[in-house]
Amino acid sequence: MDVLERYESLVDDFDAFRAACDRPLPSVVRVNTLKTTVERAKAALTEADIAHEPVGWHDGLFALPDDQPGTNWPYVLGWIHGQEEVSAVPAAVLDPQPGERVWDACAAPGSKTTQLAALMDDRGLLVATDNNLGRISALRSNAERAGATNVAVTHEDARNHSLKPFRAPDSDVREGAPYDRALVDVPCSCEGTIRKNPDALDDWELDHVEGISGVQKGVLRRAIQTTREGGTVVYSTCTFAPEENEAVLDHALAEEACELVEFDLPLDSTPGVTEWQDERFDDSVERAKRIYPHHNDTGGFFCAKLEVTAE
């Protein structure tokens, strides 16, 4: 079936959307500011004769029109990390600060984890969780290559995440303090990655979308529960399906103490949708942002910012 056709009613200029989805994306790298500066990374790319172009909205992101990252000096030194452009959005929206306690709920393979560590200037506690040991190995390897020292990696189902390992030294309290911020970049049907991976939709099934939506709801709820009142939770996916986006937010709004908040994004986007098929969602889901491939010539993405409120 043609998966993307189901979104024709949501997308402006559907033909442009379809055309953009058929075009491949260049490799993009993010400069790892834990190990170097953007200026030196640029100099090292130039020295290695690797063409690089700024993406415009983010100082540390460069498109490599002719190259893949991996076999050059800046990569070997951990100065650059391959990361699709829109994938840099949620960590920037979360905006973690040095010294805070932050949870990356679905962390592997670690692109966003290392970006969070850099935004925190490697200070504070960044707990990075994944439920798959193979993916945790990639996560650890990427965190180490980035030189991050504030990352604690846990192997567990994020829906049952425990704060117990992160008690203060010699504390009598069983649980660690709640987080200041949490990033919930959940596993999803990945429709928005079609430009990087043309096979992304080959195994698409509505059953899978609906099943994974249950997991997404569980992870987002746990993130809200483990974040302090006034703290920030960012929810993101790389898919267009409202079942995995607005419906998950609507569920969290109904079940947990939180609200959706407005945020600025230096990329073109459209608001979250309040209606999909037979469902109607809370009006505030409009504060979420849908990023379509034809708007900024990127992959597709969905991002929402929540504030945790009093019970």
- Least separation, in Å, of the C-beta of 68 and other proteins? 12
138 is a site residue for other proteins (CB under 8 A)? no
Q: Which residue has the tokens 């991996």?
A: 70
Q: Please select the residue that binds other proteins; options are 5, 12, 22, 47, rule is CB under 8 A.
A: 47
* Residue number, 38 or 265, with CB nearest to other proteins: 38
CB 117 within 8 A of CB 126: yes
- Our measurement of the distance from residue 84's CA atom to the centroid of its chain's CA atoms, rounded to an integer in Å, reads 11
Q: Which residue, 69 or 272, has its beta carbon nearer to other proteins?
A: 69
Q: d(Cα 155, Cα 157) in Å, to the nearest integer?
A: 7
Q: Residue 15 or residue 174: which is nearer to other proteins going by CB?
A: 174
Binding segment for other proteins (CB under 8 A), chosen from 18-26, 32-40, 178-186, 284-292, is: 32-40
**Joined tokens for residue 300:** 């597709």
Alpha-carbon distance 305 to 100, whole Å?
A: 18
- Sequence-separated (6 or more) residues with CB below 8 Å from residue 5: none
Query: Quick one: which of 171, 228, 255, 280 contacts other proteins (CB under 8 A)?
Result: 171
C-beta of 77 vs 201, nearer to other proteins: 77
The contact pattern for other proteins, residues 231-270, with x = CB under 8 A and - = no contact, is ----------------------------------------
Distance CA 80, CA 218 (A): 33
Calculate the alpha carbon distances from 24 to 46, 105, 203, 250 in Å: 24, 29, 20, 33
CA gap 188, 300 in Å, rounded: 12
Catalytic residues: 238
**Binder among 122, 286, 297, 307 for other proteins (CB under 8 A):** 122
Sole binder of other proteins in the list 43, 51, 206, 261 (CB under 8 A) = 43
Nearer to other proteins, 43 or 261 (CB): 43
Tell whether residue 169 is a contact of other proteins (CB under 8 A): yes
Q: Which of 4, 44, 273, 285 binds other proteins (CB under 8 A)?
A: 44
Angle subtended by helix axes 246-255 and 206-225, to nearest 10: 40
- Separation of first and last alpha carbons in the chain: 44
Among 19, 51, 76, 261, binds other proteins (CB under 8 A): 76
CB of 265 to other proteins, least distance (A): 29
Q: Show contacts of 60-64: CB within 8 Å, 24+ apart.
A: 60/30, 60/31, 60/33, 61/28, 61/29, 61/30, 61/31, 61/85, 61/88, 62/28, 62/29, 62/31, 63/26, 63/27, 63/28, 64/26, 64/27, 64/28, 64/29
Please identify which residue in 123, 208, 228, 280 interacts with other proteins, judged by CB under 8 A. 123
The annotation status of 111 as a binding-site residue, yes or no, is yes
Q: How far is the CB of 179 from other proteins (least distance, A)?
A: 13
Q: Which is nearer to other proteins, 156 or 268 (CB)?
A: 156
Residue 155 in contact with other proteins, rule: CB under 8 A = yes
Binding residues for S-adenosyl-L-methionine: 106-112, 130, 157, 185
**Which residues would be at the binding site for other proteins (CB under 8 A)?**
34-35, 40-41, 43-44, 47, 70-78, 122-125, 128, 136, 139-141, 143-145, 147-155, 165-171, 176
